[in-house]
Structure 1
């Protein structure tokens, strides 16, 4: 008699079924947390830009009019002034940085 070692087709199909079910359960949880992570990243980015506004004010003795002023003076990297979630940021007349929410 042969001593066949290995998995049968049925065993392999059961393992694939279990893996598929686990994937279907995990993917919605990952996408839900992705939005939360991007929102927290935006909060951190706004705090960092607020610090750059304060540094600009200390050096120039005036507030920047907008984000472009910070980019032009080297306080922010050009074309990198968006939150991780894709929303723009703005600076009001008091120097407060806020997120411009997309509709």
Structure 2
């Protein structure tokens, strides 16, 4: 008498094939959303820094000379650790974040 407690090879192939197809469809979407989320974080950080520069300007009637002048308003070292470079124009107060790829 046969013992039918296990799976046959064709059943396993079908299950593994189905899982592979689902992974093939899902993984690219996850990567796209992950990249989009990183871009949104950079945009958000840039807006926060620009807001802090505006507050500094309102309090001092001048833009900060260097980015470290904003230490009282935000964690500059935390931002420097997150980005490859932070370009700051002391004449216009414009901040540009450079991201590691």
With the length of structure 1 as denominator, give the TM-score of the two structures: 0.70
Match of 1:36 in 2: 36
| Structure showing the higher helix proportion among its residues | 2
**Shift of residue 28 of structure 1?**
2.4
Deviations 1:23-42 (A, max 9, x none): 12322232233222212221
Match of 2:93 in 1: 95
Q: What's the RMSD between the two structures over aligned residues?
A: 3.0
**Separation in structure 2 between the aligned mates of residue 30 and residue 38 of structure 1, nearest angstrom:** 12
Gaps of 5+ in 1: none
Match of 1:26 in 2: 26
Contact 2:88 2:95 in 1 (8 A): yes
**Separation in structure 2 between the aligned mates of residue 82 and residue 22 of structure 1, nearest angstrom:** 39
Higher relative contact order by CA 8 Å / sep ≥ 6: 1 or 2?
A: 1
With the length of structure 2 as denominator, give the TM-score of the two structures: 0.71
Which moved further from structure 2: 24-33 or 52-61? 24-33
Match of 1:64 in 2: 64
Gaps of 5+ in 2: none
